[in-house]
Amino acid sequence: MEITFILSQMKLNHLQIEIDGIDKQILRDLMEDARKPILQIANKIGISGAAIHQRLRKLEQAGVISGSKFVVNTKVLGYSTMAFVGIYLDKAARNPEAVRELKKIPEVLECHYTTGNWSILIKIICRDNEHLMQLLNKKIQAIDGVSRTETFISLDQQIERQIQL
């Protein structure tokens, strides 16, 4: 099981916090392994564990860190089909209600309001292609305002990472 350290989107021009080299090293270590003991990081950097905790609290309060999460291997759980679905809405004003309905579908992992041809781009996980077809036909395309969808099946994820600090 993998744990991911989540960083908030950093808008550096609006950031009210100074991130120094020590903060970056703490974040790098925790992004590599969120379960790494604080004292191990403190010894490596040469500061106290309490100082690490204070810096983490400061980064969290500033919105740089938004938490941590366990990452579950979906393939082990029987979900082998990942797809990206571009959703065309008949009107842009339908976006909020479409997103409300998409939130009710547990297989929808991400939802993005986009520029370009689609109104919404979603990332979904399914057991197999039949499950994907059922999800598209009975749930996603049944949402009021969805005029059509365009689906791309991921054959294999080549890169997965967070921003480098």
Distance from the Cα of residue 2 to its chain's centroid? 14
Which residues on neighbouring strands pair with residue 17, listed in sequence order?
A: none
pTM assigned to the model: 0.80
Residue ranges per structural domain of the chain: 2-71, 81-154
CATH number of 2-71: 1.10.10.10
Do 2-71 and 81-154 have matching folds? Answer: no
| Non-local CB neighbours of 147 within 8 Å, separated by 6+ positions | 88, 89, 90
User: What is the predicted pLDDT for the residue at 1?
Assistant: 44
* Spans of the chain, pLDDT less than 50: 1-3, 8-13, 15
CATH number of 81-154: 3.30.70.920
* 54, two tokens: 């204070």
The percent of residues in the chain predicted with pLDDT above 70, rounded, is 90
